[in-house]
Chains A and B, each alone.
Chain A
Amino acid sequence: MKAANVLVLVAFCGLLIYAATGFPNRGDALSVTNRETSPAGTPNAPAHYIRRAKEEAHTDNMVTAILADYRGYDTLGEETVILTAGLICYLLLRRERSGHEKE
């Protein structure tokens, strides 16, 4: 059983490393995600963000502008997930709260 676990772990590790070798180089202008247009011919979103984020969102940090302004719904969902996780921990772990004091 233990050997099988280790084997699966090593296999996944090798798979991830193999997948990582296929990534484009950092800053590669010719990779699909960094081009002006997508392979389908539509304009790519990153080019728009890099050009216009400063003047549209009035925020120097492009990452913050994308996170909280362009992708506001996404961040809203993330925060709701965090709150849900906290509430579930509260419900699962605090058992004897409303009734008698604990001894």
Chain B
Amino acid sequence: MRRNENNPIIDLISSLVAPFIMLFGLYVIFHGHYSPGGGFQGGTLLAASVILLRLSLGSDLGQGQFPSRLGTPLASLGVLIYYGTGLAALLLGGAFLNYAFIPFSVLTPLRRSWGILSVEIGVGLAVMAVLVAIYDDLLEGEPDA
């Protein structure tokens, strides 16, 4: 593989742009109730910002935002959030994934909305972690990639 030549323009631009991509990813996840978006799309945007930093700064310097060792644990955590939301509803007397039984909010009607948000956060976390983990796996062992 070609060595990383540390082009200052690429470094600067990607460092400037990556936080905004990350912010937009969070917006897409949390605003999915009102506008197009949701966990899958927001998670992909979060992963795009992390991978952009890794591409420009190199895999070693790019660890700051998201260390490689967190990939699989965070993906599992995201899936567990989803299953946990369903199981919480089950334990509190409802059917599996029936958000009306989760005590997120005092108002029963709003619980469905909060349940959807919790599920979307789990999906976003899992998608982001899996995409970054696959990128890291592909580059495993490459010198200075």
Q: Which of A's residues lie within 8 Å of B, judged by CB? A: 56-61, 63-65, 67-69, 72-73, 75-76, 78-80, 82-83, 85-87, 89-90, 92-94, 102
- Total interface residues in chain B, CB < 8 Å: 40
Q: Closest Cβ of chain A: how far from B96's Cβ, in Å?
A: 8
**Which one, A72, A86, A102, contacts B119 given CB within 8 A?**
A72
15 A–B contacts from the bound complex (CB under 8 Å):
A58-B113, A59-B33, A59-B112, A63-B36, A64-B32, A65-B116, A69-B115, A75-B123, A76-B97, A79-B123, A83-B79, A83-B126, A86-B72, A89-B133, A93-B138
Asked if A72 and B79 make an inter-chain contact with CB atoms under 8 angstroms apart, the answer reads no
Interface centre among A67, A79, A83 (most CB of B within 10 A): A79
Q: Which of B76, B99, B130 has the most CB of A within 10 A?
A: B130
Q: Is B82 an interface residue (CB 8 A)?
A: yes
Are A76 and B137 closer than 8 Å at their CB atoms?
A: no
Q: Within residues 95 to 145 of chain B, which ones have a CB less than 8 A from any CB in chain A?
A: 97, 99, 109-110, 112-113, 115-116, 119-120, 122-123, 126-127, 129-130, 133-134, 137-138, 140-141
Quick check: A59 and B116 within 8 Å, CB to CB? yes
The residue in chain A whose Cβ has the minimal distance to the Cβ of B127 is A82
Beta-carbon contact of B38 and A67 below 8 Å: yes
Contact across chains for B137 and A93 when beta carbons are under 8 A apart: yes
How far does the alpha carbon of A79 sit from the alpha carbon of B118 in the complex, in Å?
14
A79 touches B33 (CB 8 A): no
Q: Choose among B36, B109, B130 the residue that contacts A85 (Cβ–Cβ < 8 A).
A: B130
B82 CB contact (under 8 Å) in A63, A79, A86: A79
Nearest B residue to A56, CB-CB: B112
